[in-house]
Structures are given as structure tokens and as C-alpha cells.
Structure 1
Amino acid sequence: MSLFLGDIHFWLYNKIIWAERLEDKIIELAKEKGLPAEEWKVESYDKFGEPTGGKDLESIIDTSNIHGWLQQKISNVETRQGFLITKMLEVDDSIKESIIGLFKEQGALAATHLDGEIENPEEVFNALNNFVIEGMPCDRVNQIVTSTDTKFVWTVTACLHKPYWDRVAGDIEVFYELREAWVKSFVENLSGNFTYEKSGFTHTINKN
């Protein structure tokens, strides 16, 4: 391991890779729908930077600016996703259901990538945060409200995603609809023992 990189950097980079994989799926869907996906992809890369391609982190990161590099990659992937999804919905808003399907599929897939048994709702929350991007660790936007053996409740104290969607004239409510579909699919595909619900910025995981 590099002298400059720690586990937290690889952890965050892994979340970026998951987001980029979902971006690839969105582009594939646009192609299937007969939309100018390649044109949009090139435009998004030109405006918002190219994906990492899942390359080895140590070979591509700027070790003189680790925090800034990771923050920029988060900004890039979130903005590209917002751009692509907004473009697709501008052409045909009925495509949203198919996009929601992609988010559900990846949420379910992520649930299969966990090692060990998940026994309580707080462990589900911790596992969830191995996959979804919610800013940098120092942002600390998730605030725990309740944690018991059967219920875990948290609130999100700030929206870190709206600036990315605003940049592409997108609707942040679309982001939250897609994020909720991903999270719900992840939680409810873990073992069948947990459910997820959201009300505003308050999220709840219950153990059945």
C-alpha cells in the first residue's frame, strides 16, 4: 500500500467505481432506447471529466492532493449521471421507470457483495455506506437519531447532490427518487429481514 493512501481512500474510491458502473448502465440503456448516447457520453466527458475506468487507485491518484482528487471524482461522476439522466428524460420522461430499474438492480447486486452476516439495522446502515456516495467522510451529513436492535433512524443534514444536478439543469427530486430505489433494493435484498422507508430527509431501517 502506498505511504500516502489509507483504507479510507480505497473505501471511497470503491464507491466512486460503483457509481461509474451505474453510469455505464445508464449509457447502455440510452443506446437501447435509440437515444444519442454516444454523443451525450462524449459531451459529459468533455464537460465533467472522464471516468476512472476502475484503474488501480495508486496508479492514477494525485498523491499531492488526495482529498481534492477524490472530491473531484465524486463531483465528476455525480454531475455526469445527472447530465445523462436529465438528457434522457428531456426526450422521453417515461424512460424514468427503466432508469429506476437500473438503480434497483445495482442495489440488489451490491447486497450480494457483503462479507459476513448482517444482524441488526445499524450494521445495514454501515454496509450501505460502503456503496453509496454521500460526500466525503469529513462532510458528516448523516446524523443518527435512533439505534436499537430492531430500528435504525438517521437524518441527512444537508443535500450535497443538488449543486451537481443544478449544474446540468436537472431535477434533484429525480436524484432522490433514484437513490431511494437503490437503497430500498439494497436493504430489502440483504436477507429478507429488513425494510427501508424514507420521509423527507429522515431514513429508517427496520428489522422484521
Structure 2
Amino acid sequence: MSKFLAPIHFIMYDKILFLDKLTNKYIDFAEKNNIELESLNSLESIDYAPLDEIIDESNIHTWIQKRVSIVEDKLAYIVSEILKENETFENEILEIAKNTGEEESFSGNPREAFVEISNKFLDGMPCDHAISILEEDENLLKYKIEIDKHSEFWNYGINSNIYWKIRNSFIEGLIGKDLKLEKLDNIYEIRG
């Protein structure tokens, strides 16, 4: 490992790859449903090589932030194009997210679920304090989205509410029947 790269950089890169893989599932869905993605080829793509082989070590944070923007923008574009083609595809979009959560085969308590969710979604660097834990015990973890780092990418005719629905569907798939997700505005509870 490079002396310049810290564990947080690898965590961020894993989150980037996760979101790109989820987005690729939506690209496959669009193609299967003959939805034209005219601007797809103009969007940048993500290199899946090991991080320490591809990162610009002279500008680590800018390199990571650029890739965060690439995957967030790509997700917003693809999902928006699908929904503009047919708004009833929302159910399928959410089902893909839920199935992706189920594929994680997660088993654990609310704290472990929160960590798993945090390891998947790009809510900024820890110093951004985008999420805060409000309450925690062995059967509950209550947290608040303090800063929405995603809405700025939803500029393709569909608002960012769908992003949060996708995310919530993934979480529901992840936690399965063992835990329960409750949401009120930007406050979430994961209960055992």
C-alpha cells in the first residue's frame, strides 16, 4: 500500500465501485427495455483497477472526488432517463436496489447494519459530518442525514427523491426480515 493512501481512501473507492455496479444494473435494465441512453457514451467511466495502481497520489482527494461525481452523475442520468421513458419503471428500479441489498447476505444488529450502509453510500468524507447518530442501543440505531450530498447531481429532469427511494430499497433488502427500517424525513431508525 502506498504511504500516501489511508484506509479511508480505500473505503471511498469501494463505495465508488459499489455505486457504479448498481448503476450498471440500471444500464442493463434500460438496454433490455430499449431505452435510449443518448448521453451515456459522453459520461466518464470508472476504472476497476486496484486503487493504488490508478490514483493520482499527488492529488488524492481531488481524484476521489472526481470519481464520486462521475458515479453520482451517472446514476442520476440513467435513472432519470428510465423514468422519463416510463414512470411506471420506478417499481423495477426499486426492486433492483432491493435485490442488490439482498445479495449482500447481511446478518447482524442495527449497529452493524448502519456500518454496512455507511460502507456502501457516498455521503462524503467523515469530516463532512453528513450523517450523525442520534441514539443507539443493542436493538436500535437512530441516525440523521445532516447534509444531502446527492441532490446536486439530479439535473436530468427527475428530482433526487428517487435517489432516497433507491437507497431505502437497498437498505430494506440488506436488512431483510431480521431488522426493520423506519424513516421520518431525514431521520432513520434501524430496529432489531
TM range (shorter): over 0.9
- 1:168: Cα distance to partner? 2.8
User: Match for residue 175 of structure 1?
Assistant: 163
Give the partner amino acid of 2:22.
L
Match of 2:181 among 196, 199, 205: 196
Cα distance between partner residues in 1 of 2:83 and 2:157:
12
**2:168 maps to 1:186:** no
1:160 and 2:149 aligned: yes
2:45 aligned partner, one-letter code: E
What's the offset of the Cα at 1:76? Answer: 1.0
State the one-letter code of the partner of 2:183: K
**TM-score, normalised via structure 2 length:** 0.93
Equivalent residue, structure 2, for 1:77: 71
> Structure 1: which amino acid aligns with 2:180?
T
CA distance in 1, matches of 2:67, 2:77: 15
- Unaligned 5+ segments in structure 1 are none
Of residues 43, 46, 53, the one that matches 1:51 is: 46
Task: Flag the 1:26–1:163 CA change in 2: closer, same or farther, 3 A.
Answer: same
The corresponding residue for 2:54 is 60
Deviation at 1:170, TM superposition (A): 2.7
Shift of 1:122: 1.5
Taking structure 1 as the reference length, the TM-score comes to 0.87
Q: CA deviation at 1:172?
A: 1.0
Q: Deviations over 1:58-96 (max 9, x none)?
A: 121111111111111111101111011111111111111
Show structure 2 runs of 5+ residues with no match: none
Give the letter aligned to residue 63 of structure 1.
E
| Matches of 2:70 and 2:116, distance apart in 1 | 24
d(CA) in 1 for partners of 2:126 and 2:58?
Answer: 19
State the shift of 1:196 in Å.
1.0
Letter in 2 for 1:168: Y
**Matching residue of 1:23:** 23
The Cα shift of 1:10 comes to 0.8
Corresponding residue of 2:9: 9
Cα RMSD, aligned residues only? 1.5
- Tell me if 1:148 matches 2:131: no
Counterpart Cα distance in 2 of 1:75 and 1:56: 19
State, as a whole percentage, how many aligned pairs show the same letter.
26
Alpha-carbon shift at residue 142 of structure 1 (Å): 0.8
